Amino acid sequence: MSETKTQVGIVGATGYTGVELLRLLAHHPFVEVRAVTSRQEAGKAVADYFPSLRGAYDLVFQAPDDADLSQCDVVFFATPNGVAMKEAPALLAQGIKVVDLSADYRIQDVATWQKYYKMEHASTDWISKAVYGLSEWKRDDIAAAQLIANPGCYPTCVGLPLLALLQQNSLKTDAAIIADCKSGVSGAGRKAEIGSLFSEAGDNFKAYGVAGHRHLPEIRQTISAFAPEIAQKFTFVPHLTPLIRGMHATIYVELNEGVDALAVFQAAYQDSAFVDVMPHGSLPETRSVRGANTCRITAYRAPETEANQWIILSVIDNLVKGAAGQAVQNMNIMLGLPEQTALNGMPLLP
Ligand SMILES: NC(=O)C1=CN([C@@H]2O[C@H](COP(=O)(O)OP(=O)(O)OC[C@H]3O[C@@H](n4cnc5c(N)ncnc54)[C@H](OP(=O)(O)O)[C@@H]3O)[C@@H](O)[C@H]2O)C=CC1
Ligand SMILES: CC(=O)N[C@@H](CCC(=O)OP(=O)(O)O)C(=O)O
């Protein structure tokens, strides 16, 4: 074991975002994964459990209480909501940096969090210290943070284009903002659930969370940071598609007179390696980002409308830019490393 490398732990390493962290970190030149937890697979070798990682790791899953997390410099929580809020504070008290992929520290208003997550928050004092890690918009805060609240997948896919428009005051304040979003089934995690069965989710398409998805207050909070008066104008409907990975957002907005959404995106993201603004007439596809830490966006002026209405298209891989990739990007920024370290893998086609 090299002492010069940053020592990393992953709590919940058998889940979809956990194994994605392992895949991405396998070739990280400045990081060594030292501890991986699973309650159900404790004692099993990573390489036996995930043959895709054979040759990359000589590690065994441990029960969270037995794992060497105190010896780590950075710990990722790739666990269901409600775990990090109980387990992270002890690590934070030891000075360890934490990147939480769950929603435990994303919402600043505790009452709103408790309403949407239907549980009592166990470490409210850490909420205000957490930095919401939409990487492209918080680089300085992330660099100085000890605790990162890694954004949800829909809030990343929708937030990246919207924030560019918000920063430029481009959105009309009296118009609705509507995000029509689709996710692959891996967004629901690896736990056994009837809705995720092949014969339920395959060859099927449906909306869900229409009455109020957990990501609604998260996206509204992002909007509020720039324009509280229009946060309540935002609504979104997620849909489940028979994809494994991938997320697509179609966002309908009305912009102030004369604003060109594509020009705003190009200016906002010209120096961001992971946001690709595609030229006019392009159609971002989920498979063009599969396995990559990239968000591809473009915009169309809505045809034959009088007002300055625009249709924005945004795609990510929910497990990469929507979760583990952005988490590694945030870790790189926290550690003062080049943001792209270990994240330059190309998308998988077909
Ligand atoms: N899937 C996605 O696309 C995205 C997921 N997220 C968020 O990331 C987090 C992880 O998601 P995902 O990987 O999909 O989830 P999974 O259900 O696939 O994996 C959860 C992991 O956590 C472990 N775990 C479960 N309960 C506990 C517990 N009480 N204490 C310690 N470990 C536990 C599980 O292993 P074991 O039970 O063996 O301990 C497993 O390794 C979630 O909060 C999710 O909302 C965020 C963005 C996108
Ligand atoms: C397809 C699917 O079920 N997707 C998940 C999104 C997962 C996620 O990012 O949720 P957290 O905010 O809890 O981390 C969902 O809609 O609940």
* ipTM of the complex in this document: 0.98
Is 169 found in the same domain as 112?
no
Closest-lying ligand 1 atom to the alpha carbon of residue 190: 18
> What CATH number has the domain bearing residue 243?
3.30.360.10
d(CA 289, CA 269): 17
Q: How far is 107 from 52, CA to CA, in rounded Å?
A: 35
Report if residue 290 sits inside a domain. Answer: yes
% of the chain exceeding 70 in pLDDT = 99
Q: Which of 72, 153, 157, 181 is catalytic?
A: 153
Domain containing residue 98: 6-129
Ligand closest to 238 (CA) is: 2
- Nearest Cα residue to 114 out of 91, 84, 81, 86: 81
Q: Are residues 158 and 121 located together in one domain of the fold?
A: no
Residues 64 and 205 in one domain: no
Residues whose CB is less than 8 angstroms from the CB of residue 199 and which lie 6 or more positions away in sequence, other chains included: none
Q: What is the mean pLDDT of residues 136-165?
A: 98
Span 50-70, average pLDDT: 97
CA 184 to ligand 2 centroid distance, Å: 10
Tell me: do 166 and 304 sit in the same domain.
yes
Q: Which ligand is located closest to the Cα atom of residue 13?
A: 1
Q: How many angstroms separate the alpha carbon of residue 104 from the centre of ligand 2?
A: 13
Using the atom order of ligand 2, give the atom closest to the CA of residue 238. 16
Q: Is the pLDDT of residue 253 over 50?
A: yes
Residue nearest ligand 2's atom 10 by CA = 152
Whether residues 169 and 274 fall in one domain: yes
Ligand 2 pocket residue status of 15, Cβ below 6 Å:
no
Rounded alpha-carbon distances, angstroms, from residue 318 to 75, 131, 304, 337: 21, 20, 33, 24
- Nearest ligand 2 atom, CA 322: 9
Which amino acid is it at 50? F
Domain containing residue 27: CATH number: 3.40.50.720
135 in a structural domain: no
In the reported structure, the alpha carbon of residue 11 is separated from the centroid of ligand 1 by a whole-number distance in angstroms of 9
- Residue that terminates a domain, selected from 129, 146, 181: 129
- Side chain identity at 102, as an amino acid letter? S
Q: Which residues line ligand 1 (CB under 6 A)?
A: 11-18, 38-41, 64, 78-81, 83, 101-102, 152-153, 186-187, 189-191, 318-319, 322-323
Percent of the chain scoring above 90 in pLDDT: 98
Mean pLDDT within 15-27: 98
On whether the CB atoms of residues 156 and 295 are closer than 8 A, the answer is yes
Q: How far is the CA of 257 from the centre of ligand 2 (A)?
A: 36
User: Strand locations in the chain, DSSP E?
Assistant: 6-11, 31-36, 74-77, 97-100, 131-132, 147-149, 177-183, 206-207, 234-240, 247-254, 275-277, 295-301, 309-316
Same domain, 219 and 262: yes
* Region 252-279 average pLDDT: 98
Q: Which mutation among 85, 153, 197, 248 tests ligand 2's pocket best, with the greatest number of atoms within 8 A of CB?
A: 153
From the CA of 101, how far away is ligand 1's center (Å)?
9
Task: Using the predicted structure, report yes or no on whether residue 3 has a pLDDT greater than 70.
Answer: no
Ligand 2 atom with the shortest distance to the CA of 323: 9
Read off the pLDDT of each residue in 153-180 and give the average, rounded to a whole number. Answer: 98
187 and 292 housed in the same domain: yes
Ligand 2 pocket test, pick from 76, 106, 154 with the greatest ligand atom count within 8 Å of Cβ, gives 154
Statement to judge: residues 186 and 259 lie in one domain: yes
Per-residue pLDDT for 1 more than 60? no
Does any domain span residue 107?
yes
pLDDT at residue 2 greater than cutoff 90: no
- Tell me whether residue 197 is in a domain: yes
Is 346 domain-assigned? no
Domain match, 160 and 306 both: yes
Rounded distance between C-alpha atoms, residue 339 and residue 177, angstroms: 31
Per-residue pLDDT tens digits for 94-134: 999 999 999 999 999 999 999 999 999 999 999 999 999 99
Task: Inform me whether the pLDDT recorded for 209 exceeds 60.
Answer: yes
**Mean of per-residue pLDDT scores for the chain:** 97
Domain assignment present for residue 326? The answer is: no
Q: Which residue's CA lies nearest to atom 9 of ligand 2?
A: 152
Shared domain for 92 and 48, answered yes or no, is yes
Distance, CA of 290 to CA of 149 (rounded, Å): 23
Q: Are residues 177 and 288 in the same domain?
A: yes
Nearest ligand, measured from the Cα of 100: 1
User: Mean pLDDT across the stretch 18-39?
Assistant: 98
Q: Do 121 and 160 sit in the same domain of this protein?
A: no
The answer to the question of residue 98 being in a domain is yes
Q: How far is the CA of 72 from the centre of ligand 2 (A)?
A: 28
Do the domain assignments include residue 260? yes
Q: How many domains does the chain have?
A: 2
In the numeric block, which tokens belong to residue 243?
């994809």
* Residue 153 is a catalytic residue: yes
Beta strands in 29-69 (DSSP E): 31-36
